[in-house]
Structure 1
């Protein structure tokens, strides 16, 4: 594990600034926050339920997920995390993890000590609100996922998820010409959407046949954004992204 205090901070700043307007002074303070980098292989637990972490993680490359298991060992993925996300930021205030965070693909993760985060927030009180807003947006995403899994058809669920991931990646500059990385297996999509892997395969085939998505290995392209939004009943309000003048 190596200390690289500058490059990874840019992505964290970009993500926070997409949901909370940061001052130049606050960006500078975030730039100096120490972050320890670690490469993690796919399907590895990063932090587990019941643990008491002294640090929070920042996703820099790859995707991770939050999940819980039933008593029978069945997994429900409750959220997907993309670069720029801090999926266990709540551990700064909730001592015991009530869910697990695991890598979906090979990842680069940055670990930030809670004592450094607390010191930063004491010195720059508005950053407390920025981090709080991030956890509130996470909660908003959980609510939307509950609606998605509970009330929408498989076709609409999948279209909605593609829309969400695209917009979240776009907010941190990781979408090019409506194309983005999608390193999610059909089995993991099944655990996220509450359907079988066979149903996932059929649903993706239907979206492709309707000209709403194109898929090549781990890359997804969206040829018709407006039609995909309509198919997914997608309204980005719940992501609470900042609207910039001239954007």
Structure 2
């Protein structure tokens, strides 16, 4: 496959390019990162809170979540991660992880040593800026999630998170128009939204009844994007994409 085509299809390049313009040399440098690729089954921790990793990883295929646990064993999902994301890149600077990352589906992940990432950043300062921008966008998303869980009713929380996921998937070419594969269970949505699984089921039924979403297995179809955005009070500005991920 020609280099340009390979870079266009590499998840990490796609993700960085959704928020930052890379030169051809920078794309190639990302492609040349020495990655140890591993396949990890669903519902497995990739890294855990308290770990002191010597490498970070990029999601190449599949979905993961970043989460925290309460003292009595309740899980709060604080982010859903999709191909191209590097959920633990902060471990390059913060030596002890304060989050855990688990697979939601069977995943392919590419592990890169911190030494290799430091070398990449030293040779390509603009790639350092791209990673910095990515961590800032991640922080903006955390703030939006706090608002979503803390101040919106369950119906609007769900509408908002569905909007976010569609926009992010479109940005890395994993959604067509307003249709995407979304293999997230009701239990996982419950852990992200801070409500019960029964409540998640009820909210999804209401969104379907109102004509805002359709589901076919893991397939999400959004027949009325503007109404879903309105229901979720959704403004994609906080994702800081180069182009609107879900623009009509």
Q: TM-score range by the shorter chain?
A: over 0.9
Unmatched runs of 5 consecutive residues or more in structure 2: 1-5
- 2:207 is equivalent to residue 207 of structure 1: yes
The residue aligned with 1:82 is: 82
Please state how far the C-alpha of 1:62 moved relative to its aligned partner: 1.3
Look up the match of 2:65.
65
Q: CA deviation at 1:243?
A: 3.2
Q: Tell me, which stretches of 5 or more residues in structure 1 are unaligned?
A: 1-5
Look up the SS of the partner of 2:187 in the other structure. Answer: helix
Instruction: Give the aligned partner of residue 13 of structure 1.
Output: 13
TM alignment of 1:146-161, pairs within 5 A: 146-161=146-161
SS of the residue 1:101 aligns to? strand
Secondary structure in structure 2 of the residue aligned to 1:198 = helix
Matched positions, count? 240
In structure 2, relative to structure 1, the CA distance for the partners of 1:119 and 1:9 (3 Å cut) is farther
Alignment check: 8 A CA contact 1:78 1:142 kept: yes
Which residue of structure 1 aligns with residue 230 of structure 2?
A: 230
**Superposed CA offset, 1:139-192 (max 9, x none):** 111100000000001000000000000000000000023211111111111000
Distance between the aligned counterparts of 1:158 and 1:52, measured in 2?
34
1:193 alignment counterpart:
193
Could you list the structure 1 runs, at least 4 aligned residues long, displaced by more than 4 angstroms after superposition. 6-9
**Contact (CA 8 Å) 2:141, 2:239: kept in 1 or not?**
yes
- State the shift of 1:9 in Å: 7.6
Equivalent residue, structure 2, for 1:94: 94
- Aligned partners of 2:66 and 2:10: how far apart in 1? 24
Give the drift of 1:60: 1.4
- 1:8 positional shift: 10
Tell me which residue corresponds to 2:49: 49
C-alpha distance in 1, partners of 2:191/2:243? 33
Under a length normalisation based on structure 2, what TM-score does the superposition of the two structures give? 0.93
* CA deviation string 1:59-87 (max 9, x = no partner): 11111111111111011111110111111
Counterpart position of 1:3: none
Check the 8 A contact 1:9/1:31 in 2, yes or no.
Answer: no
Match of 2:162 in 1: 162
